[in-house]
Structure 1
């Protein structure tokens, strides 16, 4: 079996690529991919060029470990004749699955510098992983995994499979190995760009991340936007955190935030921050249905929280209470903080009103309170109960408060 190092030292093969064709593909990879943001598009074009130039690549994959709250890794898969790649993500825990443990990728990740198998040779040495049977059924004859080295010791994986009888020859292997350093550089740039975007989306939300990546990083920079504002807070969290084990408290918070967050995001809301056991979200009024979308999100969140409470009661835990305050108005949306540490958030009187309404839920024993301004904007006064006017801290005039039916 020829190793990656041997491939780099192999002499040109008469039937392989000419040096000029090698230079063309390498020059394209290094110099002509600058305007392409996505590595999957570059990978598809690279494989297409290799195939057209005579390298018998019929299937190829890139495997990356990624920094994401939900996924441990991603795979980009290309097959000959396809104009787009298939992209799959893998959740945490996949590394314990039988399919992964009984795969060449597991062998590679355990330290192998190369894994290769002549699929069309039933007498070939080494384990016969189930993947090889699948590839053989697709008509493939040769398969290999090589490392794709990124900076600071990060090692990802690239695979190539051939459909030519006998598989790859020495010249094919030499050229494929020659392109790996350039592909590593090109892929690392795209992967880190995607990682930066993912981390920003994870911690500040999709809209704020776009603003920051576009250059909105100056303290005090921001815009005034009209928005429906939702502030939610969990009840008795201090008592629960004192009584419950730490891991149970974290699980509780995550379940609670899932119940609240998923409906908000599904209906076009943007969660700007989690505040201990609370959250702040806005529904920009650029969407004419923003207020009705907010109400739909609350309806779904309450159903999810009811299901969570039912599950907690079965575990012997107390029912979770919560308060939600809703208002509408103009807010300043932008960067606030110290010279070295900024927060991309919203501030303004409208946010204060939503916060005061959330606090009022404790006194009125209603889980959701909404201002008249929001109710009129949403056109839903007939569906709600008018609880009367209340003086809110920091406001000169009392405001009319509305509630859904039911109590905490």
Structure 2
């Protein structure tokens, strides 16, 4: 192949592959350029391990004339027979290049090779993608050319891989940053931080429905159970809420021991407050059912759980608050304080779901008037509502 054509591809990737808007488009264009330059590629794969709580890694697979296929692998893949009996397992173990001629009877009988032979692949080479700080990822290259890749074509692939690794590393680092921000501060907050809202005092006001919940009897639970068991219980308990909150448009901002603070933004210009509050109430009903069904075997006993959630509506201050260079992206304001007070009232009344008059007044949901209550720190008493379908627990 022409050395200048290869260098153009390398320069294009080093410059950020600007003609490709997405990683999948970059992979398609890169492979097509290599084919045009004289490397007869058939199936190409890029395999990147990720820093994600649920996803071990991602694979990107290209074939001529088709869309790049993106797949996620969970953490169990490391122990799967398919991975253990694969050339990539060898690459990760040795951190070195792996190559096999598939028309050689002595080549290993890997399951992936059976599929490739059906496609009439003749040669397979896996080349490490080395990040700057040392982690190893992988690329695989195959051809249907008779006799496999030539020495010149293999040299071209080896030259292209460092530029590919730099591109993949940059994209991976950005994805990792977004994943970590999404995991630890929430999606909307993460977007704002990545967008440059990182200085103390960078805040904005937002109209939102506020969710503040608490696990009943958590102090006693923590006192009589081992810490590891308590953590496991909390994870199961939060699972009962977070999936419902996110499915109905909310964002979890903070965990506070057994407490959870979430917000459901309201676009006041669209006038969707009633719709948002209806979704919040539906999430609360789903969480109530999930927590009620939750049981945790411990020793000879089975732990059962109850929680309370306060729902309110109001304006909040949303942004960076903290001291020195340690900041927290959170929300504050009288509306958040009132929600916290309402959650305590829910506990005193042995109720699961309570709402302020502002929330209940805009969200038809079968509310029962529980009366007016003085609120610490507020000049006026607040009328509190509970669900008609709920019998207060003893």
**Band the TM-score falls in, shorter-chain normalisation:** over 0.9
2:74 to 91, 105, 109: 91
**Contact 2:182–2:190 under 8 Å retained in 1:** yes
SS at match of 1:152: coil
1:369 to 354, 358, 362: 354
The corresponding residue for 2:26 is 42
Gaps of 5+ in 1: 1-16
**Contact 1:113–1:146 under 8 Å retained in 2:** yes
The corresponding residue for 1:5 is none
2:214 to 217, 222, 233: 233
Residue 303 of structure 1 pairs with residue 303 of structure 2: no
**Contact 2:355–2:386 under 8 Å retained in 1:** yes
1:56 to 40, 57, 62: 40
- Alpha-carbon separation, structure 2, partners of 1:89 and 1:314: 37
- Alpha-carbon separation, structure 2, partners of 1:35 and 1:392: 59
Residue 124 of structure 1 pairs with residue 106 of structure 2: yes
Counterparts of 1:208-219 in structure 2, within 5 Å, are 208-219=189-200
What TM-score do the two structures reach when normalised by structure 1? 0.90
The corresponding residue for 1:346 is 331
Q: Kindly tell me: are residues 157 and 70 of structure 1, through their superposed partners in 2, closer, same or farther at Cα, counting changes over 3 Å?
A: same
The corresponding residue for 1:110 is 93
Counterparts of 1:186-205 in structure 2, within 5 Å, are 186-205=167-186
The corresponding residue for 1:394 is 377
**Contact 2:46–2:61 under 8 Å retained in 1:** yes
The corresponding residue for 1:101 is 84
- Alpha-carbon separation, structure 2, partners of 1:133 and 1:152: 35
- Alpha-carbon separation, structure 2, partners of 1:32 and 1:346: 37
The corresponding residue for 1:177 is 158
SS at match of 1:71: coil
CA positional deviation for 1:193: 0.9
**Contact 2:91–2:98 under 8 Å retained in 1:** yes
SS at match of 2:288: helix
CA positional deviation for 1:34: 4.5
What TM-score do the two structures reach when normalised by structure 2? 0.94
- Alpha-carbon separation, structure 1, partners of 2:319 and 2:311: 21
CA positional deviation for 1:314: 10
The corresponding residue for 1:384 is 367
Which sits farther off after the overlay, 108-117 or 339-348? 108-117
The corresponding residue for 2:124 is 143
**Contact 2:202–2:319 under 8 Å retained in 1:** yes
SS at match of 1:386: strand
Gaps of 5+ in 2: none
The corresponding residue for 1:357 is 342
**Contact 2:16–2:167 under 8 Å retained in 1:** no
Q: Kindly tell me: are residues 399 and 238 of structure 1, through their superposed partners in 2, closer, same or farther at Cα, counting changes over 3 Å?
A: same
CA positional deviation for 1:313: 8.5
| Count of matched residue positions in the alignment of Structure 1 and Structure 2 | 386
Residue 165 of structure 1 pairs with residue 146 of structure 2: yes
- Alpha-carbon separation, structure 1, partners of 2:339 and 2:218: 20
- Alpha-carbon separation, structure 1, partners of 2:25 and 2:370: 57
**Contact 1:39–1:191 under 8 Å retained in 2:** no
**Contact 1:225–1:332 under 8 Å retained in 2:** yes
State the superposition RMSD in angstroms. 1.8
CA positional deviation for 1:25: 1.4
**Contact 2:95–2:128 under 8 Å retained in 1:** no
Instruction: Encode CA deviations 1:307-362: one digit per residue, 9 max, x unaligned.
Output: 213x5599723211211111000101111001211111110011011111111111
- Alpha-carbon separation, structure 2, partners of 1:332 and 1:35: 40
Residue 406 of structure 1 pairs with residue 388 of structure 2: no
SS at match of 1:318: strand
1:326 to 301, 306, 311: 311
The corresponding residue for 2:236 is 255
The corresponding residue for 1:291 is 277
Q: Kindly tell me: are residues 200 and 163 of structure 1, through their superposed partners in 2, closer, same or farther at Cα, counting changes over 3 Å?
A: same
Q: Kindly tell me: are residues 140 and 210 of structure 1, through their superposed partners in 2, closer, same or farther at Cα, counting changes over 3 Å?
A: same
Q: Kindly tell me: are residues 95 and 328 of structure 1, through their superposed partners in 2, closer, same or farther at Cα, counting changes over 3 Å?
A: same
- Alpha-carbon separation, structure 2, partners of 1:273 and 1:102: 43
- Alpha-carbon separation, structure 2, partners of 1:41 and 1:275: 42
The corresponding residue for 2:259 is 278
SS at match of 1:153: coil
SS at match of 2:35: helix
**Contact 1:117–1:124 under 8 Å retained in 2:** no
